[in-house]
Amino acid sequence: MPKDPGFQTFAARRAIAVFAAATLAAGLFSYSSVSVASAQQLPRLAGPPDQVNSQTQGQQGQGNQGDEQEQSVGTLKVNVNVVQLFFNVKDKKGGLIPNLTKDDFQILEDNKPQTIKYFTAESDLPLTLGILIDSSGSQQRVLEMEKEVGANFLSEILRPKDEAFVISFDVDTNLLQDFTNSSRRLRDALNSARINAPPSSCGGLPGAGGGPLPCSSSPKGTVLYDAVYLASHDELAKEVGRKAMILLTDGEDQGSQLKITEAIEAAQKADSICYVLLIADRGFYGFGGYSGDREMKKLAGETGGRVIEVGNKLDKLKDAFDQIAKELRSQYNVGYTPSNTALDGTFRRVEIHAKKDYKIQSRTGYYAVAKRD
């Protein structure tokens, strides 16, 4: 059964797990859009108050069952010590290659060959999607287009056992809709996204010119990296099966507490593929130049996704979502038991090689972290 929002139970369960592990004590849900003032704290995911009192009993039961069944960090399913990878295979022109078998591939972990234990094509496992929509000033002219096309995409791709959530980010990161299979709720959540502006400590008129305003004190204007971390750590890390997040953004971060490397690590530990639909008007940035695509290529490349240039064109946005849908429905799923059995928290680099001259689109590795009690 899809999970409906219920922040009190959801936050309580996450809080207990985090404090019991005595680790990331600040990465919890808050019930209102409150900025995090202390640099020592991790960012928090805010949610609208009207979601607090929705159904919680079903979530509580599902959460307990999920905790027992799966303790997943990175691509490592630590309860069975199997590394699971989802990947696409493409020809030189970018076309998807179907109907391959495990004999067509070789897997290396830290340059050492691994034995493939299982292999499937076009996996029918449940799909969990996160839509992260940039609602900062630079998206003023394209936000409505993003809402409409994004909602249509979710309506078309989600099957009964799939689920999705929606996050918006600007000066804060807000959970607009928690996990659900309801296309209507997801569309309503996207439609609720509004352009926000930097804090009043920064000069200028909020939102004037349609972009984040410069500020000598480095204000929070587009907390993109924080949003990726929160979507990974607070949402996707507890889920099983195939997971992906789709970012609609110009790629420019302003004011995140975390760095791009920390956002990438969180996505890897959540076993999430990251796609970036780069929606940007490069002329907006003037002589300062536009550089958001560089960091987004790192994020997508390290997690097995990719960056798709959209600009401000409706047809390109529709085509980008179509490409993602095809890739998510044409994945190969491979699993192996690593020859290095130490769960020492280190990053293990994984390579998938095809025997023919194909391009493999896959994550670059996983973190070998011991099972959490």
Better-scored residue on pLDDT, 121 or 291: 121
Residue 7 CB neighbour total at 10 angstroms: 24
Q: Establish if 143 belongs to a structural domain.
A: yes
Local confidence band at 140 (pLDDT 50, 70, 90 cut-offs): confident
pLDDT at 48: 58
Helix and strand tally (H, E) in the chain? Answer: 8, 18
Domain coverage including residue 85 = 72-122+330-367
* 313 burial type by CB count under 10 A (0-12 exposed, 13-18 middle, 19+ buried): middle
What percent of the chain has pLDDT above 90?
Answer: 61
Better pLDDT: 88 or 31: 88
Could you report the per-residue pLDDT of 291-339, keeping only the tens digit for each?
678 999 999 999 999 999 998 899 999 999 999 999 999 999 999 999 9
Q: Do 134 and 110 reside in the same domain of the chain?
A: no
Same domain, 175 and 146: yes
- Locate the DSSP E strands across 61-193: 72-73, 76-77, 82-90, 105-109, 112-114, 116-121, 127-134, 163-169, 173-180
The full DSSP string for 199-228 is -TTS-S-TTGGGSPPP-TT---SB-HHHHH
- Find residue 363's DSSP bridge partners: 303
Give the rounded distance of the alpha carbon of 370 from its chain centre. 23
- Taking the CA of residue 244 as centre, how many other CA atoms within 13 Å lie in the half-sphere pointing to its CB? 30
Looking at the fold, whether 261 and 134 belong to one and the same domain comes out as yes
Question: Residues 96, 233: one domain?
Answer: no
CATH number where 298 lies: 3.40.50.410
CATH code for the domain in which residue 340 is found: 2.60.40
Q: Give how many domains the chain has, as a whole number.
A: 2
Residue type present at position 176 = L
Q: Residue 137's pLDDT is what? A: 87
Q: Where is 246: in which H helix or E strand?
A: strand 242-249
If one compares 372 and 122, the residue with the highest pLDDT of the two is 122
Residue-wise pLDDT tens digits, 40-85:
467 888 775 444 334 333 444 444 443 333 333 333 333 348 899 9
Q: What is the mean pLDDT of residues 212-239?
A: 79
Q: Say whether pLDDT at 205 is over 80.
A: no
Per-residue confidence (pLDDT) for residue 42, from 0 to 100: 77
Residues 88 and 143 in one domain: no
pLDDT, position 124: 77
In the predicted structure, residue 156 carries a pLDDT above the cut 50: yes
d(CA 136, CA 48): 18
Mean pLDDT of the chain: 78
* % residues pLDDT > 70 (the chain): 69
pLDDT of residue 285: 58
Residue 53 lies in a domain: yes
Q: Are residues 312 and 339 in the same domain?
A: no
Domain check: are 192 and 229 in the same one?
yes
DSSP classification of residue 232: I
Residue 1 maps to a domain: no
3-state secondary structure of 167: strand
Domain identity same for 356 and 279 = no
Which strand (E) or helix (H) includes residue 64?
A: helix 57-69
Q: Tell me the average pLDDT across 146-165.
A: 96
Q: pLDDT tens for residues 227-250?
A: 999 999 999 999 988 999 999 999
What b-and-e string marks burial along 39-48, b requiring 16 or more CB atoms within 10 Å of the CB?
A: eeebbbbbbb
Asked whether residue 130 is assigned to any structural domain, the reply reads yes
End-to-end Cα distance, the chain: 26
Assess whether 322 and 289 both reside in one domain.
Answer: yes
Q: Residue 370 has what pLDDT? A: 66
Q: Where is pLDDT greater, at 34 or 140?
A: 140
Q: Which of 25-34, 200-209, 253-262, 337-346 has the lowest mean pLDDT?
A: 25-34
Q: Which helix (H) or strand (E) holds 277?
A: strand 273-278
